Amino acid sequence: MRNLLLTFIILLGPFVVVAANNPLIRACRIENGQFWLLHAGDKDLALCFFDEAAVGADALFKFKTSEPTQAIDAYKNRKSSFTKGGVCGAYDAEVFTAKDSEGHQYNVCVFEDQSMIEETSLWFGPGAAGNEGLDKALKKTY
């Protein structure tokens, strides 16, 4: 049993160190979010999930360090979702259909500055049921 535990620690040790040193993962975890990679064709999209809401991990980190992003600005200053071009199109963002490792599918708005937010999170906006965790994470910067 001791050897099994030692082997487990040796194999997973480097991954724990990488996660602890990655500022995107750390910012996500500090805000009680879940860091998750989605795959859109040949692209990997790093998002931070808060229950049903998701925002780009990079956008969250930049917000927390007082650097503006188009995704966070769009979320906080949400326009009507009944615009030609859909939710992402209302902000001149490109929509990517991405899947997680379990096969769940998400539509992700990717803005010109490469910041991201999950389409439904943007559509429902601040104060919506399911977006409470994201709202809480966006209340203050570091």
The secondary structure of 65-123 as a DSSP string is: TT---HHHHHHHTPPPS-STTHHHHTTTPEEEEEE-TT--EEEEEE-TTS-EEEHHHHH
- pTM here is 0.82
Q: Does pLDDT of 3 surpass 90?
A: no
Residues 10-50: tens digit of each pLDDT: 555 444 444 568 999 999 999 999 999 999 999 999 999 99
In the chain, what are the domain boundaries?
Answer: 2-137
Per-residue pLDDT tens digits for 59-76: 999 999 999 999 999 999
Q: How confident is the model at residue 79 (pLDDT cuts 50, 70, 90)?
A: confident
Q: What percent of the chain has pLDDT over 90?
A: 75
